[in-house]
Amino acid sequence: MGEKITFAVAAIGTLGFGTGVVFFRDAFRAAVSLIGALLSVALLFIALLAPFAAAVQVIVYAGAIVVMFLFVIAYLGGHREITTFDRLDRWQVIGWLGVMGLGALGAVAVLDSTAGPGWAAPAATGTGSPAAIGDAFLSGHLLAFEVTSLVLLVAAVGAVILAKGAVQREGGR
């Protein structure tokens, strides 16, 4: 029963944060909402007994790629000074409660998935092991893996070029 509750809450969190990514007008808020969505997906992976995929989700996507997005937003000056009433201020408490609830649920899911009394390890099929995932990346999906890395490199270089142009237009170096 606990697995179903964890899965349902993580799925609702993923959908909620994903909606925030799409509908927030402020790029910084959308990026922070993307972090929430990716962490909720990592919680889904934990609920599905895929801890390696959850770790990769947090380290690679929620860590590295979203940090790159935030650097691009900082380079391009994506934040603006809010001079009018902020419509999201009234929802701030609910947002923090949701984040703390997802964190507590993630901690319970991680602690519940570790070896303890009454816990039985799933049958080792080799499908989700790090060796099987690495073998899949480097054999069957090598082209897609390399194209993805090339696209990320082009995005990073493009962000730096755009930022340099924006700084020069404003009279900077």
Q: DSSP states of 57-102 as a string? A: IIIIIIIIIHHHHHHHHHHHT------S--TTGGGHHHHHHHHHHH
| Structural domain count, the chain | 2
Quick check: helix, strand or coil at residue 8?
helix
In a domain, 18, yes or no: yes
Question: 60 and 13 in one domain?
Answer: yes
Are 130 and 52 a contacting pair, CB within 8 Å?
Answer: yes
CA distance 148 to 151: 5
Q: Based on the domain organization, do 168 and 92 belong to the same domain?
A: no
3 closest CA partner among 91, 88, 140, 105? 105
The CB-side HSE value for 50 (13 A sphere, CA atoms) comes to 17
- Is the domain of 59 the same as that of 138? no
The answer to whether position 39 is within a domain reads yes
pLDDT digits (tens, 9 = 90+) for 76-121: 765 555 566 666 677 777 777 877 877 777 777 667 666 555 555 5
**70 or 21, which is more confident:** 21
Could you tell me the residue range of the domain that residue 153 belongs to? 126-173
Look-up: residue for tokens 């599905």?
48
Q: Cα–chain-centroid distance for residue 111?
A: 21
The residue-averaged pLDDT of 132-150 equals 79
- Residue whose entry in the numeric block shows the structure tokens 């650097």: 71
Is 134 contained in some domain?
yes
Mapping DSSP to helix (H, G, I), strand (E, B) and coil, where does residue 122 land? coil
pLDDT at 129 over 80: no
Q: What is the pTM of this model?
A: 0.56
DSSP 55: H
